[in-house]
Amino acid sequence: MSEPPILLMGHPNVGKSAMFNRLAGADITESNYPGTTVDYTESDLAVEGTTRRIIDVPGTFSLDPKDSAESVAVDLLDKNPDATVVCVLDATRIERGLNLAVEILERGYDLIVALNMWDEAASGNIDIDVDELSSVLDVPVVPTVATEGTGIKTLIDRLPEASPTPIGSVLDAVGFTRAEALDSATRWDLVDAIVDATVEYGETEPTLPELIGTLTVKPWTGLPFALAALYGMWAFFSAVAGFFTDGYFVPLFDAHWLPWLQETFPFEGTWLYFILVGDPAATNSFEAFGMLTSGLFVAIGVVLPAVFALYLVLAVLEDSGYMARLAVLLDTIFHKIGLHGFAIVPMVLSFGCNVPGVAATRSFETEKQRFVMMTLLSVFIPCGAQLAVMLSLIPQYTGFIVLYLLAGFFVFGAILDKLVPGSSPELIVDVPPLREPRIGNIATKLTLRTREFLKSAVPFVLLGVGIINVLYLGGAIEWLAGALEPVLTGWFGVPTDTIPALIAGFLRKDLAVAQLSAISMTPFQTVMSVIMVSIYFPCLATFAMLIKEGSKSGGVVKMLGGALLTLVAALFLWGGLFHLGGILTGVA
């Protein structure tokens, strides 16, 4: 008979996942809970010579679920009646977590309490009598600092001591009248009594992080702070991308790699040379357009530095606790399009890569919200790879193009909110305090995200270059250019030479923008073409993710059908509107 599992439970933002990473073994598995879009993580943990499964349960505020993540948490608890529950509490806000711990005790589970963020509680002059709290609850209580690994060994050693406690004994310990079941109000009164008996709050002056944290969620001070943070993020992204691409990779590829390949690769003049190396007379890697020239240069020389910079900034914002504040601040704006403030998370992720951005829509509670967000991300948000190429080719227009696409995001979001049936629940979030980002956490996130990006980006870029070159050789590009000439030149005002870029865009948007650099166009046509490629069909990796997520959000046909209708409407209306604006202002 297998050993009972260990369930790691707690509110969101209490360090539960950091604790799981400390407890977990090498074999970590992320699974999708059946019938939902909610993920949970599990691994193995050695306890007294036996191996037990440990599950990082989705964060929940109570056992009365209010959204899909909380429903999964309760379901995991119900399906494992013999489980040992590690209830992770934020020691700086102990009363919030105690309510959940009491609910778990009421259900008769073996319980052990981890008082996490113990260092922050101490620095905040919060004195928790651990022995007294353990006596009142009649379960082991262990102070921990998950990010530093403090108390983790003690927690593991004391897991066998976890035990169920009749709620009546807890009531007796604080002088409450015994009751068979507690209603919500009585439970909170009990929590208050436990806190009064075990916790002392000393006098403290607000710290600088606390003062800044307060200012970041107030509209009059928070919005300027948010604009400054986002501008700083953009400036850092642009500076790092330009520094490494122009300073190192352009000289490396154009002065060394490209000439060497052109001279040493055999079979010049054959189809193989054309596909792998490209134009033998090209003087730079953008124009060569071979798999081993433009393909590698775009993926490694242009995209990698930019995506690395973007993921670094994102990891810092997440680890500092600012991302949750940004969500609260922007909640009103996103409600105008039927979403809530945490839409900023998949949105910012998509500026790195649309694939994790689409995956992050799982956090939305309703099918309507997931459909709207996935559609808007795949149509209007340019990924970091595409932005990197834009910054390299047309830096003077990149900011304007992004603003125009963001305007389309909110305009079509408002339209979809009116057309798509369904509800849009309010945002409920526990805002964590501002903290100094941990280098270890940032490094872990950066490594995982960059690795996943490289696994999906490099193969598709190389494949895209190869397919475009094969279509060139077969005459398909010339045929498509003739067939689509009326639409391209009449409605959008761009030359038929953009056909290869549109085909490449289905594989990689950054590859498509890079191919536009080899076409002779006016500045307006260049900007118009980039906007078309951006709104045009999502790249293959994003398309695959839409299919995967669509199967869990109302069906693949509904997801893709609605997304494609929106895409066509956005391409012809939003793209055509830009062309009309160019005609009226005399720049088209």
Q: Residues 269-302: pLDDT tens digits?
A: 899 998 999 888 888 887 787 889 988 887 788 7
Picking from 485, 483, 480, 474, the residue whose alpha carbon sits closest to that of residue 506 is 480
Q: Is residue 275 part of a domain?
A: no
Q: Is residue 113 part of a domain?
A: yes
pLDDT of res. 37? 46
pTM of the model: 0.71
What is the DSSP code string of 365-431? SSHHHHHHHHHHHHHH---HHHHHHHHHH-HHHHHHHHHHHHHHHHHHHHHHHHHS-S--PPP---P
pLDDT of res. 389? 73
| Cα(355)–Cα(307) distance, integer angstroms | 13
pLDDT-derived band at 9, boundaries 50, 70, 90: very high
pLDDT of res. 340? 85
Q: Residues 363-406: pLDDT tens digits?
A: 787 888 888 898 898 888 888 767 877 877 788 888 888 899 99
pLDDT of res. 118? 92
Picking from 79, 101, 78, the residue whose alpha carbon sits closest to that of residue 88 is 101
The better pLDDT of the pair 206, 420 is held by 420
Arithmetic mean of pLDDT over the chain: 83
Instruction: Label residue 149 exposed, middle or buried (CB < 10 Å: 0-12, 13-18, 19+).
Output: middle
- Give the chain's length: 588
- Domain of 78? 6-201
Task: Give the mean pLDDT of 55-65.
Answer: 88
| Cα(119)–Cα(343) distance, integer angstroms | 32
pLDDT at residue 74 is higher than 80: yes
Tokens of 482: 């003739």
pLDDT-derived band at 329, boundaries 50, 70, 90: confident
pLDDT-derived band at 525, boundaries 50, 70, 90: confident
The CATH number assigned to the domain holding 138 equals 3.40.50.300
> How far from the centroid of its chain's Cα atoms is residue 135's Cα?
41
Q: Are 287 and 518 in contact (CB under 8 A)?
A: yes
Radius of gyration from C-alpha coordinates of the chain: 28
pLDDT-derived band at 83, boundaries 50, 70, 90: very high
pLDDT of res. 310? 77
Q: Is residue 248 part of a domain?
A: no
Lowest mean pLDDT of 94-98, 468-472, 481-485, name the range. 481-485
**Residue type for position 141:** V
| Cα(491)–Cα(84) distance, integer angstroms | 64
Picking from 94, 171, 90, the residue whose alpha carbon sits closest to that of residue 138 is 171
Q: Is residue 353 part of a domain?
A: no
Q: Is residue 22 part of a domain?
A: yes
Q: Is residue 441 part of a domain?
A: no
The better pLDDT of the pair 105, 210 is held by 105
Q: Is residue 486 part of a domain?
A: no
pLDDT at residue 131 is higher than 60: yes
The better pLDDT of the pair 48, 73 is held by 73
Number of domains in the chain: 1
Q: Is residue 50 part of a domain?
A: yes
pLDDT at residue 109 is higher than 80: yes
